[in-house]
Amino acid sequence: MIALVRTGESGEGRHSGLSQFLVDLGSPGITVRPITDLTGDRHFNEVFLDDVFVPEGMLVGAEGDGWRQVTAELAMERSGPERYLSSFCLLDAFVRGARASQDESTKIAVGQLTARLWTLRQMSMSIAGQLGDGKEPSLEAAIVKDLGAIFEQEVPAIIHSLADPSVLGDEPAGFREALEYLLQAAPSFSLRGGTREILRGIIFKGLR
């Protein structure tokens, strides 16, 4: 795993004196306890370190530069395609199944969801460009993560409210499995990469 730890004095700011290290999870003194979610998957863990020794050679980047590094990493994580594509397999199957539908609500939903998906993609690509130019778009990334989580959570809810034989006819392959899985997994989308409350705090501070 990669860990952000204090290696020096905080100095004038609380973010000073922080460094990143790679930690071998096979090292003595490390206990990993998986957290099982509603779907039965294990994407999160509790990690306990008891007198664990990490060699100096496992330092990532420069000593004391950990906070700048981790904020850049978070900007990439929060704005990446996984922040708006987690529900894409369901949306894709729904659109394929609803092509021949004459239901007005279904047509409107497909148009709105597709437009939101495209907008999020453009925002994500923009942040990738900023990072490539050496900028630190933490505020912009937080906005993408917040909007992306809302989108990903609403996709299965909206599709569930519309999906019936009169709309889909013969269900596309994998549609039912994807819908059932995402209805259970979607609540976690606003936790990973920073909770909604943390993200909106960053957005508030950046915009005021």
In the chain, the domains with their CATH numbers are 2-60 (2.40.110.10), 68-207 (1.20.140.10)
102 vs 100: CA distance, rounded Å: 7
Which of 75, 105, 81, 109 has the alpha carbon at shortest distance from 95? 109
What's the pLDDT band for 167 if we cut at 50, 70, 90?
low
pLDDT mean across residues, the chain: 89
Burial of 12 (0-12, 13-18, 19+ CB in 10 A): exposed
137 vs 143: CA distance, rounded Å: 10
**What is this structure's pTM?**
0.78
Has residue 134 got a pLDDT over 80? yes
Q: Tell me if residue 185 falls in helix, strand or coil.
A: helix
